[in-house]
Structure 1
Amino acid sequence: MINTLTSLRFLFAMMIFGAHCYVIDSFFDAHFFKEGFVGVSFFFVLSGFIIAYNYQHKLQENKISKRTFWVARIARVYPLHWLTLFIAVILGNYVVASDCMDWLKHFLASFTLTNTYIPKADYFFSFNSPSWSLCCEQLFYFCFPFLIPLAKTYKRLLYLFIPIAIIVVTGMYFTPEDEIKGYWYVNPVTRFPDFIVGMLLFHLYNFF
């Protein structure tokens, strides 16, 4: 089961890659690749499942502490993120404004993975733009230990998932199309339901 889920990464990674190739050829802006963005949701769901699979019982049984979990997650995310960020700074010649202080604010937001909480493209796509997904993962990892009491039964997770999902869908409906990406697509809080779906799938996996 785990190997099968993991192997799907290649398929959805190719969908995401293809969805970004529209700048090369218009073919990639249609058909299979046009919906490539769903690959991001898949990876968030997969993250919820894998994290629950590896850590839920350990945290419930106090075999590891919240601190140990967070340190492991930070060590996995930040070093590589900082490396790619500095490479982007050196090679990308990124300019946000003539004001040095403005540049520094954008850089610090990216450095701390808080840039996607600001619904402006020059923030959430600044420097190394794919890192916006790491901002979401950071929130998931921070919240996961606090979800452990709710994770004892799938019903409790559903009680959390349903209202958040309704708010997100409703909010997207009333948000102007050109602002949806900033407020709903890259925002870590509004991507949280994806992660919870992964945790719910882990409950289903345990059931069988």
Structure 2
Amino acid sequence: MTARISYSSGLRVLTFEYRKAPEDPYPAANEDALTAYYWLKEAGYSAGQIIFGGDSVGATLALMTLITLRDREEALPAGAFLISPHADLVHLDGDSYVTNRENDPTGSLEGNRRLIAAYLGSWQGEPPEILSPLKMNLAALPPLLIQVGSLEVLLSDAVRLSEWAKQAGVDVTMEIWDNMWSVFHFLAYMLPEAEQAIRNIGAFNKAKILDCNR
């Protein structure tokens, strides 16, 4: 999938193996995402030459990294594309966890509860705020492209994230793909909708990089 996104964008892609729970709970993955960004900066790339992207929890990591960089008053990338994002890993209160329960074989409320329990590990007290981007101030984030399938349990997270970010003044492009499941992009070798979604990501990436480097 990253190769297809690279081709459609005309950009090099860096993928990195962030540490995963339960062996490495919070904040390991968050720290690794920041490290990857700083590595790119040290390698000579400016913020305006970088686009963040991720799918599912990877999309959440991209979003949390943006928020962290903004709060540190550091230069932000040109934009980010978020595929089927978990906009709130803590409360899991989106309506589609129920309404799409029978439609989505790729995710569930129960599965996501296990996911956050593993990531928090032995964490004591209230979960960190950064794990609930949907409950945070999203002002001053760079342009976002959000893609989600109409049949997935994360539909509500994506829709609410789009609306919340727009209210904060963020430039958001929202795409809901009919009759698609989570991260249907993996089927681009056989699914026209997936191929088109990746082309849309490529167009978004090209446009935002160009906007930052005029």
Do both proteins adopt the same fold according to a TM-score greater than 0.5, normalized to the shorter chain? no
Normalising by structure 1, what TM-score? 0.29
Which structure carries more helix by proportion? 1
